[in-house]
Amino acid sequence: MYSKNTAGSGRFMKHIRINGKRTVSKGKYLWKAVLFCVGALLLYDSFHERDVEEGEETGTGRYVVVRESLAGQEEVPLEEYLIGALAGSLPDDFSPQACRAQAVVLRTNAVCLANETGTIRIDYQSLGQKSLTMGEMREKWGDGYEEQYEAMKSAVNDTKNQIVLYEGIPVELPFFLLSAGHTRDASALPVKETFPYLQSVDCGEDVFADAYEQERVMGERELGIALAEMFEADTEIFWEDTEAVYDHAGYMTEIGWNGKRISGEQFREKTGLPSACITMEKDGRNWRILTKGIGHGLGMSLYTANDMAKSGKDYREILKYFFPDCEIAKN
């Protein structure tokens, strides 16, 4: 169930790469909050100074996701996109409350992107999260299609218009499949000032998942060539000549060589590893690479979210656990 090799929320990955750094002003959230509130007031006026016409969408229902199809550009209502995005981001047989938590996360990320771009027409590719089509959902679930589809649809409908706010504005919420025992905080990022709401929380049950620990063997030369490509070197690089830096959660944050740096996530992506929580062990002319968890380790662990749901927590409690300084509000 949890063996899928995924890094987690795709759009968030750009923030983890060292060469993807963004500049952040100290008052970022203040001015964004002002703009968000002004926009909200304008929208409020447009919806409340007159009667809302029959069939007119309000809240997050006004957003559409724009993507290319064989017939050209098509606009998909955000809430419809979310059904397919849930199907594309969750393992099978997820608990209803965990599905609702993920629905709020995905909706928040979409609204956050819309705010950044200043339009209700959200670019599908920029979201970084695949949304399965009806055909793909039928192929994925087979005979269980109708039951699973209704579960995804219910999670979206039951959380309609709900998003997560930090200091009054919607923010980008990363998620991933399985932690190494704790989630990582913002200090793991080159742009940590951008994500002060990301805190490390305990995910002790993750260590009991079947895919928690995995091993891969790479030949010394194979690894050396891969490192040379990453560092754009003319000759292969010996691992012993590099210097790896780790965060408190055990994830490799960066690798240094000859004055150059790459991020742990860049190394993970290039080598096809499930996680950047890495231990390297030399074995003759090979390297045994031991990993813990699946994904980047930032934000919400889907495994722990599901475990919390099974133990009786609702989606609000799940979201509050992973994002304690945030609040859930209706858009």
Task: Encode the chain (331 residues) as per-residue pLDDT tens digits.
Answer: 444 435 566 566 666 655 443 333 344 444 444 444 444 443 333 323 333 344 445 577 899 999 987 778 899 999 999 999 999 999 888 999 999 999 999 999 999 999 999 999 999 999 999 999 999 999 999 999 999 999 999 999 999 999 999 999 999 999 999 999 999 998 767 766 788 999 999 999 999 999 999 999 999 999 999 999 999 999 999 999 999 999 988 999 999 999 999 999 999 999 999 999 999 999 999 999 999 999 999 999 999 999 999 999 999 999 999 999 999 998 7
Work out the burial of residue 33: count CB atoms within 10 Å of its CB; fewer than 13 is exposed, 13-18 middle, 19 or more buried: middle
- Those residues with Cβ within 8 angstroms of residue 163's Cβ, 6 or more apart along the chain or in another chain: 60, 104, 107, 108, 111, 170, 328, 329, 330, 331
CA dist 246 and 264 (Å) reads 9
CA dist 193 and 25 (Å) reads 9
CA dist 185 and 192 (Å) reads 8
CA dist 276 and 292 (Å) reads 8
At 287 the three-state DSSP class reads strand
Residue at 214: amino acid letter: Q
CA dist 65 and 126 (Å) reads 10
Which of 77, 83, 33 is closest to 59 using CA atoms?
77
What is the pLDDT at residue 44? 34
What is the pLDDT at residue 220? 96
Beta-sheet pairing, 162-166 with 327-330: antiparallel
Beta-sheet pairing, 300-301 with 243-246: unpaired
pTM beyond cutoff 0.85:
no
Work out the burial of residue 185: count CB atoms within 10 Å of its CB; fewer than 13 is exposed, 13-18 middle, 19 or more buried: buried
CA dist 131 and 95 (Å) reads 19
What is the pLDDT at residue 189? 73
- Under 8 Å between Cβ of 277 and 250: yes
Locate 136 and state its tokens: 């793909």
